[in-house]
Each structure stands twice: as C-alpha cells, then as structure tokens.
Amino acid sequence: MNGERGFMDINKNCLYDMEFIHEQIAKVLAKIKICDDSVNKDELEKKIVRYYTDKFDSFTAEHFQYDFIDLFCGAGGLSVGLEQEGFRPIIAVDKDLAALLTYRFNRPWLTEENLIHDDIRELVGKDIFPHVPVIVGGPPCQGFSVVNKHKKENDERNALYKFYVHAVKQSRPKLFLMENVEGILKLYNEIQSDFANIGYTVCEPLILSPKDFGFPQSRKRAFILGINNDYEHMTSELFSIFKETVLSKMQGPKYTLWDAISDLPELEAKTLKNSTHVESKKWGYTVAGISATSTEYTQLINEGIPVQRPLLNHRSKYNNERDIQIYQLLKPGEKSDAESIQEINPYKNRADIFRDKFDKLVADEPCKAITAHMYYDCNMYIHPYQARGLTPREAARVQGFPDDYFFLGSPNEWYRQIGNAVSPLMARVLANGLKCVLKRMNVDE
C-alpha cells in the first residue's frame, strides 16, 4: 500500500472494490474451524458478502462536504466520527498493515493508492500530502502514557508529532486536530513553537472524556486544535466556536457499560490452548450470521446502517482454569486485592504493583478506558456477569464503533486496533466543532 502516490479522486457516484471485500471475507473464513458445526461457512460467506454488497451499492459521496487526511489512522476511529459529520478521508497513513486493511475494508471506495502503509518518518521530504481543509491524527502515545510503567524519558515515539508537523507544512490545511493522552502536554510549549514556525496557531488543549458526553467510557484524552495563520485575525473567535460547539454537547453520565453490551450473546472463556482459529457457539465467532437487535445505544452507534446486520469479532480469549476461577470469585468492582481470590492470586505478594491486574467491571457505570493492553490479556476487563474478559466487539461497542465495522488481522490485533482508536462517538462531537469552524472561515473568504 505504498510506492508512488497517485491518489484516486472519489467521485460523487464512486465505485467500490467489492472484489477486495469478498477476498477479505473469504480469507477470514478459510482460516476458521468451527468445532461444533454450529455454522455453515459457505452459507455464512454468501450472507456476509450480500450484506456488504447491499450496503455499498447504496453508497454515494453526496454526504461529504470536506476532505481530510488521517495520519496514524489505525483502524479508523477518528475517521468514523468525521465521516458521520460529512468529512471524507482521501489519504490515510499507518505502519500497521492489519489496521490499514481494517480501514480499507470499511471504506472500499478508497483504493490502495489512497492508503499509505509506511512509517510516517520515512515520508519526510517526499511530496505526498495534497492540500485539504483538515488534517487529523493521533501520534502513537505509549511514550506519554501514564499507564506505561516502562516508558523511557526520551522515548523516540514522543517525537512522532514532529512528522505530523511535516505533513501539515506540506498540505497547508485550514485546520488540524491532534489527539493524544494527557502526557503529551508536557511538550505543549514545544508543540506550540514547532507549529508557529510553519504558520499555525495552536490553541488551548481540550481535555475530554467520553463519559462527560454521556458515552459509556471513562477515557481522558487531550485534543489540540491548530489554525492556519491565514486566519490570524480571527483565531480567538474560531477557537471559541470550536470549544463552545464541543462543550455544548456535554451532558454527564448517561450510558453505562451494560447499555453498550447487554444485547450481545453470552459467551464462555475459551479453554482450548493454541486454538486461535477454532470457534464455536459457546466461544463466539469472528463472523456470525445476520441478526437484529436494537437498543437506544445501538441506535446511536449504528446511525445509518440496517437493523439487520452481521455480528462481528465477538469471541472470547483463552483463559486457564485458575484465571476463570478468579473471574468467577470476583464481584463487580473488585480487583486483585479482593479477599476472595487471595489463595489463588498469583500476584498477591506484589499487590502494590498489581492491584489492578484483575479488575471486574461494573455494569451500571461507564467502562474504564479501553486500551491496547487487551492485546495481551483481558484480566483488567472482566465481564461483570460472565467469567471471561470483554470480547473485541464489546470493546468496540464501548468505544462507539458501528456494529458492522469489521476488524481484520488476528484476534489480538483486533484488540490493539480498538484500544488504540479514538472513540468514534467522541470523534463525531469533535467533527461537529470542526465543521462549525470551517463554515465560519468560509463566510470570511
């Protein structure tokens, strides 16, 4: 997905690459072994291909008003929210191939030429980024993360935002929006200076969490808006418009973890070792048949997609007997220091470090922040009522991805993609703010 760039223009009546969709579905199903004969893979493939054919047959680009570039795009959480508010991605960049495959699968009107599979550091000095109104993206944040206990003082990932600066300098957008963990604000003065040197004013960061907008997750992130100095005479006004538009959507806690996941099928933890591609009704499926469930929350995240839709990426991780027993003994809200698990807790002698190693979630509260740590294990994300960790689909529900958003790669890569993503629900709120700013800019031109 790299090489010489020849970006395809996405026309109003754009075509899509159904061959790519069909190919990816076939590859996924070819790997899977259904151990209980609960699914006929041939029939399932036909149903899923038909679903996406019908979906994309009805797609047009009439909805889109503004183009944007998504740097460090991952699986596309930011892009989902922007698209829902009328923004169209024309270029997406990421070095994670599985994430880019996910990004393309869910946007088959983009061609391979619109996606750059590369480390953005390798793109400096290359004439790649065309002019667009908006650039968005979240440079990898592990170097800033407060939960990264092994972070290095001069982690090279901390400087990745500088390559974001390069892209902005080349594209000259009216606006850019950078997302990251709060730790990036340690570099805020440096970020201000770097962008000032290329003609942009960086505004006061907004520290926002989905739960403050009624969404079912507690996940604080910093959002930094940059404004082209061509609009220097109205920078304060534009930032006020953005800030007021975004903050006006705040409503405090509304949806809970249970609102997000209660309608999904019950599962058991997988107990078969070395069985990545083995699936069953009790362990869940990468791809299940078409189903129809509707709650107030699913109506929110599934805006514009059919009620009859596939169930995707809803399958459990492997757990040993000891961990399953721990999951059963813990009560919602309890952690590794709970009295009930001390006899079998492998971390009991290091409670000062591993108090949160096991954490059983509370159903009637917003979920803790979904993170890429789920790639390793889900001990910190134990289902409130079932003795297992959250599935990738449950994590995606909490984040706010639509139910027909299909994650490709290995099951662990699904977790990483979902955990690294910006919440699409938060992205929708921010996109509304960007749109209001662009409308004001257009009036001034």
Q: What is the DSSP string of 367-414?
A: BPPP-GGGGT--TTSB-SSSSSBPPHHHHHHHHT--TT-PPPS-HHHH
Q: What is the mean pLDDT of residues 47-68?
A: 88
Q: What is the mean pLDDT of residues 397-420?
A: 97
- Residue 299: helix, strand or coil by DSSP? helix
In terms of DSSP bridges, do strands 200-202 and 221-228 run parallel, antiparallel, or are they unpaired?
Answer: antiparallel
Mean pLDDT, the chain, as a whole number?
A: 90
Q: What pLDDT band is residue 133 in, cutting at 50, 70 and 90?
A: very high
Q: Are 359 and 381 in contact (CB under 8 A)?
A: yes
Q: What pLDDT band is residue 62 in, cutting at 50, 70 and 90?
A: confident
pLDDT for res 148: 44
Assigned token pair, 349: 């002698």
- Residue 90: helix, strand or coil by DSSP? strand
pLDDT for res 357: 87
Q: What is the mean pLDDT of residues 424-436?
A: 98
Q: What is the mean pLDDT of residues 260-267?
A: 97
Beta bridge partners of 228: 200
Q: What proportions of the chain, in percent to the nearest 5, are helix, strand and coil? A: 40, 15, 45
Lowest pLDDT segment from 54-58, 143-147, 330-334: 143-147
Asked if residue 56 has pLDDT above 90, the reply is: no
Rg (CA), the chain: 22
Q: What is the mean pLDDT of residues 56-60?
A: 80
How do residues 207-229 score in pLDDT, each as one tens digit?
999 999 999 999 999 999 999 99
Percent pLDDT > 70 in the chain is 90
Asked if residue 423 has pLDDT above 80, the reply is: yes
Distance CA 140, CA 291 (A): 36
Dihedral through CA 411, CA 416, CA 419, CA 421, nearest 10? Answer: -110
Assigned token pair, 6: 């020849």
CB-based burial label for 251 (10 Å; 0-12, 13-18, 19+): exposed
Closest by CA to 83, choosing from 435, 319, 428, is 428
By annotation, the residues acting in catalysis are 141
Q: What is the mean pLDDT of residues 7-36?
A: 80
Q: What is the DSSP letter of 72?
A: T
pTM value is 0.92
pLDDT for res 355: 63
Beta bridge partners of 279: 34
pLDDT for res 192: 94
Element housing 443 (H / E)? helix 424-444
Span 257-420: which CATH code? 3.90.120.10
Q: What is the DSSP letter of 318?
A: B
Asked if residue 266 has pLDDT above 70, the reply is: yes
What is the domain partition of the chain in residue ranges?
Answer: 33-252+428-444, 257-420
Q: What is the mean pLDDT of residues 130-157?
A: 66
Closest by CA to 136, choosing from 92, 192, 182, 95, is 92
Instruction: Please determine, looking at this structure, whether the domain spanning 33-252+428-444 carries the CATH number 3.40.50.150.
Output: yes
